[in-house]
């Protein structure tokens, strides 16, 4: 008998948060749009890599802080902010439901409902992502998972329980 497959959804930065970040980022600095001449920047608004010639901005983003403001969690010292790329203007968001940015090593960082880090896991192969997420959410204490780049530790997107 085969086990049911769970589908996980990558959550981009919300439209309201993007509107705010395009003006003033989570560090209180104004966004500074630029034309991406090379392409390849991981965009957190539409969960794809940028293309040459697109207008983007590198802004400071506090994903756990914004999640905590929705849920009432108190992450304390686990609250952090870091750099993310977004389109400088509105974009249509993600196209499709496939988990993005799985083509290289990524870290899955697990968080409790209080916003505390419960651990992490390095995922090396794209086909291992679903299994790693299943294992993370098999722990009832896990409320959400952040997918992060190994190279710089940057936040890529979140996956929530349910």
Tell me the two tokens of residue 20.
């705010």
Q: Tell whether 69 and 23 lie within a shared domain.
A: yes
Burial of 160 (0-12, 13-18, 19+ CB in 10 A): middle
- Would you state the pLDDT for residue 6? 65
pLDDT tens digits for range 68-123: 999 999 999 999 999 999 999 999 999 988 888 887 788 999 999 999 999 999 99
Domain for residue 5, yes or no? no
Number of domains in the chain: 2
- Measure the CA dihedral 56/148/75/121, to 10°: 170
Domain for residue 113, yes or no? yes
HSE, side-chain direction, 13 A CA sphere, residue 124 = 0
- Residues contacting 69, CB < 8 A, separation 6+: none
Does pLDDT of 2 surpass 60?
A: no
Does pLDDT of 7 surpass 80?
A: no
**What's the average model confidence in pLDDT over 28-54?**
97
Q: Tell whether 34 and 73 lie within a shared domain.
A: yes
Domain for residue 127, yes or no? yes
pTM: 0.90
Query: What distance separates the 2 farthest-apart alpha carbons in the chain?
Result: 55
**What's the average model confidence in pLDDT over 35-63?**
97
Q: Provide the residue count of the chain.
A: 162
Dist CA 69 CA 118 (whole Å)? 20
Instruction: Give, for 64, the enclosing helix (H) or strand (E).
Output: helix 63-71
**What's the average model confidence in pLDDT over 18-39?**
97
Q: Tell whether 82 and 120 lie within a shared domain.
A: no
What is the CB neighbour count within 10 angstroms for residue 85? 21
Q: Tell whether 73 and 33 lie within a shared domain.
A: yes
Domain for residue 100, yes or no? no
Does pLDDT of 4 surpass 60?
A: no
* Contact between 56 and 81 (Cβ < 8 Å): no
Does pLDDT of 57 surpass 80?
A: yes
pLDDT band at 62 (very low <50, low <70, confident <90, very high): very high
Three-class DSSP category at 157: strand
- Would you state the pLDDT for residue 71? 94
The domain boundary, picked from 87, 122, 137, lies at 87
Domain for residue 6, yes or no? no
Question: For residue 111, what are the domain limits?
Answer: 106-160
Does pLDDT of 1 surpass 80?
A: no
């Amino acid at each position: 008998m085969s086990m049911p497959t769970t589908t996980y959804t990558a959550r981009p930065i919300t439209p309201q948060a993007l509107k705010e970040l395009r003006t003033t980022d989570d560090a209180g600095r104004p966004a500074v749009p630029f034309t991406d001449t090379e392409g390849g920047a991981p965009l957190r608004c539409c969960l794809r890599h940028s293309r040459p010639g697109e207008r983007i901005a590198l802004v400071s983003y506090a994903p756990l802080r914004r999640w905590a403001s929705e849920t009432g969690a108190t992450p304390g010292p686990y609250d952090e902010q870091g750099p993310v790329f977004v389109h400088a203007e509105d974009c249509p968001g993600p196209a499709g439901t496939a988990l993005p940015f799985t083509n290289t090593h990524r870290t899955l960082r697990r968080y409790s409902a209080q916003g505390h880090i419960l651990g992490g896991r390095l995922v090396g192969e794209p086909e291992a992502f679903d299994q790693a997420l299943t294992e993370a959410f098999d722990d009832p204490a896990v409320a959400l998972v952040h997918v992060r780049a190994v190279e710089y530790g940057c936040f890529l997107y979140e996956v929530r329980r349910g």
